[in-house]
């Protein structure tokens, strides 16, 4: 096959006719496939069912986990998350079943009251802003959008977000109050920030005294290869520069045990911990410590978590491979019409198609029974300036479904590109 960009109009028309035939064949199958959300599949959740077999709810210090109390979490739960995140247990706050909810609460606290280092609540700043490395996690962006916080796109590279741009912006503009980051196996590119990027986040000067880094370690133990990639711990790095109050680190067991019934955690400085507890104690007496205890007894420590994640990897790695192999076989011969990331962990692959084609690809897929995350969803306000990015989530469907979906997706990419070239 010759490369699409070198084809004559006649060749493109012939290719279009071929692709339309393949596309019609897929449509006739009446498929119902979904690669939209990063959800674990049922087999992954089955791996953690033993967690529920527990009858004794007395914690190691004698606390009855069934009762009220311990707002910051059980000692052993704080120790487990401290081990996973690489921080001290006294800097860990254990929450409910969603780290996203902790993030929402913290933005809400910043907006309504400000933090201990805020000159005023963010709501009283004329135009409060957040930096958003793109593509990023759509639900992060929806939180800041909900509060009317203006979002500024920051380009990503395999080393992390553009630090030159970030350092310049935060040094000049005190209305920039925070940034969303997924430092390890980022959603959706699967990039891991370099050590230098982390160091620059820890040391940079900010015009806002209450600038906060929302450092979302959702995929901190979600390795897909033998390489255990780890980043320097932002909270500890920031301490070296006296900047630890700017850091909010998050993680959860959503993609370790159960997304609907896991445990989340926040790591922050001593000052922030005091302040956050003061605000949270008005809202809640204590989180679900029975679930904390079940998780500790099942996972034990970081080693236990990593061993459990090996079992996930066995199921997930073939699904990721299926997508990448299909892309290489079906798209590479067509020339530079698309490129994709090769994540070593996490839950997603980014597919970048010829600019102006992503929305059309998603629509073609949908009409043939394959649901993808909406084109543009990984950008603030749902707007991909290039209309090029698609987020592929190969974790939920079976391997057989992933294989079918990947082939259909490549047919849709090729068809959309041929249509574009014929315009």
In the 8-state DSSP scheme, what is residue 136? -
The residue (of 70 and 254) whose beta carbon lies closer to ligand PLP is: 254
Please provide the distance, in angstroms rounded to a whole number, between the alpha carbons at the two ends of the chain: 21
Q: Which of 169, 218, 267, 353 binds ligand PLP (CB under 6 A)?
A: 218
The residue (of 38 and 41) whose beta carbon lies closer to ligand PLP is: 38
CB of 264 to ligand PLP, least distance (A): 5
- Contacts of 340 by beta carbon, 8 Å cutoff, 6+ apart: 324, 327, 349, 350, 351, 352, 392
The residue (of 190 and 376) whose beta carbon lies closer to ligand PLP is: 190
Region from 94-102, 122-130, 198-206, 375-383 binding ligand PLP, contact rule CB under 6 A: 94-102
Q: Which of 18, 22, 34, 98 binds ligand PLP (CB under 6 A)?
A: 98
The residue (of 132 and 182) whose beta carbon lies closer to ligand PLP is: 182
CB of 225 to ligand PLP, least distance (A): 19
- Contacts of 163 by beta carbon, 8 Å cutoff, 6+ apart: 196, 197, 200, 201, 204
**Residue of 184, 119, 121, 125 whose CA lies nearest to 150:** 125
**Residue 139 to residue 255: CA distance in whole angstroms:** 16
- Under rule CB under 6 A, residue 350 binds ligand PLP: no
**Residue 184 to residue 324: CA distance in whole angstroms:** 20
In the 8-state DSSP scheme, what is residue 64? B
CB of 182 to ligand PLP, least distance (A): 5
The residue (of 125 and 256) whose beta carbon lies closer to ligand PLP is: 256
The residue (of 184 and 326) whose beta carbon lies closer to ligand PLP is: 184
- Under rule CB under 6 A, residue 252 binds ligand PLP: yes
**Residue of 80, 72, 75 whose CA lies nearest to 51:** 80
Q: Is 78 exposed, middle or buried (0-12, 13-18, 19+ CB in 10 A)?
A: buried
x-marked contacts with ligand PLP along 262-301 as a string, rule CB under 6 A: --x-------------------------------------
252-286 burial by CB neighbour count: b if 16+ within 10 A, else e?
Answer: bbbbbbbbebbbbbbbbbeebbebbeeebeeeeeb
The residue (of 114 and 374) whose beta carbon lies closer to ligand PLP is: 374
Helices 9-28 and 399-422: crossing angle, nearest 10°? 150
- Under rule CB under 6 A, residue 99 binds ligand PLP: yes
**Residue 160, helix vs strand vs coil:** strand
The residue (of 100 and 411) whose beta carbon lies closer to ligand PLP is: 100
By CB under 6 A, the residues from 32 to 91 that bind ligand PLP are 38
Q: Which of 70, 144, 187, 410 binds ligand PLP (CB under 6 A)?
A: 187
Q: Which of 40, 178, 183, 259 binds ligand PLP (CB under 6 A)?
A: 259
Q: Which of 33, 82, 106, 182 binds ligand PLP (CB under 6 A)?
A: 182
Site residues, ligand PLP (CB under 6 A) = 38, 98-100, 137, 182, 187, 216, 218, 252, 254, 259, 264
């Amino acid at each position: 096959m010759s490369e699409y960009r070198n084809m004559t109009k006649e060749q493109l028309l012939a290719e279009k006719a071929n692709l339309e035939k393949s596309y019609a064949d897929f449509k006739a199958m009446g498929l119902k496939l979904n690669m939209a959300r990063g959800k674990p599949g049922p087999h992954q959740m089955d791996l953690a069912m033993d967690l529920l077999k527990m009858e004794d709810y007395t914690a190691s210090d004698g606390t009855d986990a069934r009762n009220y109390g311990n707002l910051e979490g059980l000692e052993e739960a704080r120790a487990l998350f401290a081990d996973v995140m690489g921080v001290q247990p006294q800097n860990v706050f254990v929450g409910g079943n969603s780290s996203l909810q902790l993030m929402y609460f913290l933005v809400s606290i910043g907006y309504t009251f400000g933090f201990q280092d805020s000159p005023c609540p963010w709501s009283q700043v004329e135009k409060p802003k957040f930096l958003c490395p793109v593509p990023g996690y759509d639900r992060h962006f929806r939180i800041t959008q909900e509060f009317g916080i203006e979002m500024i796109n920051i380009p990503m590279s395999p080393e992390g977000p553009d630090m030159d741009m970030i350092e310049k912006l935060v040094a000049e503009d005190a209305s920039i109050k925070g940034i969303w980051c997924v430092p390890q196996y980022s959603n959706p590119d699967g990039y891991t920030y370099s050590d230098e990027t982390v160091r620059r986040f820890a040391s940079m000067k900010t015009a806002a005294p209450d600038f906060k880094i929302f450092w979302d370690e959702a995929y901190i133990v979600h390795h897909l290869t033998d390489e255990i990639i780890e980043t320097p711990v932002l909270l500890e790095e920031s301490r070296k520069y006296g900047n630890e109050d700017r850091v909010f680190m998050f993680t959860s067991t959503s993609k370790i045990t159960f997304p609907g019934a896991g445990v989340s955690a926040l790591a922050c400085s001593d000052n922030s911990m005091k302040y956050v507890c003061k605000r949270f104690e008005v809202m809640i007496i204590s989180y679900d410590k029975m679930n904390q205890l079940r998780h500790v007894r099942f996972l034990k420590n970081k080693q236990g978590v990593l061993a459990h994640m090996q079992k996930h990897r066995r199921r997930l790695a073939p699904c990721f491979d299926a997508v990448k192999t299909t892309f290489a076989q079906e798209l590479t011969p067509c020339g530079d019409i698309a490129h994709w990331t090769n994540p070593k962990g996490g839950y997603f692959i980014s597919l970048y198609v010829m600019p102006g084609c992503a929305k059309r690809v998603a629509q073609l897929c949908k009409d043939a029974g394959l649901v993808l995350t909406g084109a543009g969803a990984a950008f603030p306000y749902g707007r991909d300036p290039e209309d090029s990015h698609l987020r592929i989530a190969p974790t939920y469907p079976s391997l057989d479904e992933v294989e079918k979906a990947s082939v259909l997706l490549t047919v849709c990419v090729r068809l959309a590109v041929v249509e574009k070239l014929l315009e």
